[in-house]
Amino acid sequence: MARSAELRRSGGDESKRATGTGGVTAEQLRSFIERIERLEEEKAALAGDIKEVYAEAKGEGYDTKIMRTLVRIRKMNEADVQEQEELLEVYKRALGMLPGGD
């Protein structure tokens, strides 16, 4: 029933749409897959670029582990950052890593 409504909306041109089973069209599916593949390639290229920037920073003497932490923190909203910092302090105090711990 949904398929017939879909065909009515598309003008009844089933030849472009129904080349697979279960309402899956080969052309549309191929288009989605190819778009995803292109984006995956772009993502890999960007990951390589980011790796190069970290290597450059490391060569200049920066601690890349700390830099990665800063990047992660900057993505967080302020309330989450505050909550994480408070919890870290509680845990450090519990382990005796700060004054006032047990």
Q: Please state the pTM of the whole predicted model.
A: 0.64
DSSP secondary structure, 21-32, as one string: STT--HHHHHHH
101 neighbors 95 (Cβ within 8 angstroms): yes
Residues 34, 3: Cα–Cα separation, whole Å: 25
Q: So where are the chain's domains? A: 1-60, 63-102
Mean pLDDT of 28-43: 97
CB within 8 Å of 100: residues ≥ 6 apart? 93
- pLDDT value, residue 15: 47
* Helix 64-75 / helix 26-59 crossing angle, nearest 10 deg: 130
71-99: per-residue pLDDT in tens?
999 999 999 999 999 999 999 999 999 88
2-29: per-residue pLDDT in tens?
555 555 555 555 445 555 677 889 999 9
Largest CA distance in the chain: 75
